[in-house]
Amino acid sequence: MKKITVFVLSIVALASAASAQITTPQSDFTNNCDNYKGKTVIIDGVNLRPKQAVTTIAVGAPTTVTVGKGSTANVVASCKVIKGQKSIDVDFTANPSFAACFYMKDADFAKLPLQQDAIKAQITFKGNKAAGFFIELHKLQ
């Protein structure tokens, strides 16, 4: 019985160590966010700005997309808030020009110190740039 217990505990320890994630550098994510499509990402040292709800973002910024023959324009996307979620502005200190829609559960949003303009945090999120990123966990720093 003792050997079986030790064996099960060692399997559980190995599984949890294998599933542990490493923090992704901000610049890696902001420069190649399509590589992280649908994957869980942990980023450290971002600024959350709960007072600024994001309604539109320039998805193509700073690059441009050809709209018609000879014309270019930035692509502007609408951040559509889903029921039970709040839109939140996330500033990446390594790349301040990066723009994407980020959402947080209403209950988690209510726990933030809303009187502050910027809150330094570590966030864990999943999603893609087209649909938006959903913050699953946040840890204030």
Model pTM above 0.75: no
In a domain, 12, yes or no: no
Q: Report the candidate in 120, 130, 133 with the shortest Cα–Cα distance to residue 87.
A: 133
Domain that holds residue 117: 22-140
In a domain, 53, yes or no: yes
State the residue for tokens 């294998």. Answer: 18
Separation in Å, CA 112 to CA 11, 18, 36, 124, 140: 37, 31, 26, 15, 9
Residue 116 confidence (pLDDT): 78
In a domain, 11, yes or no: no
Domain count, the chain: 1
Residue 124 confidence (pLDDT): 94
Sign of the alpha-carbon dihedral angle for 123, 124, 127, 131: negative
In a domain, 108, yes or no: yes
pLDDT lower than 70: segments of the chain: 12-21, 52-77
In a domain, 4, yes or no: no
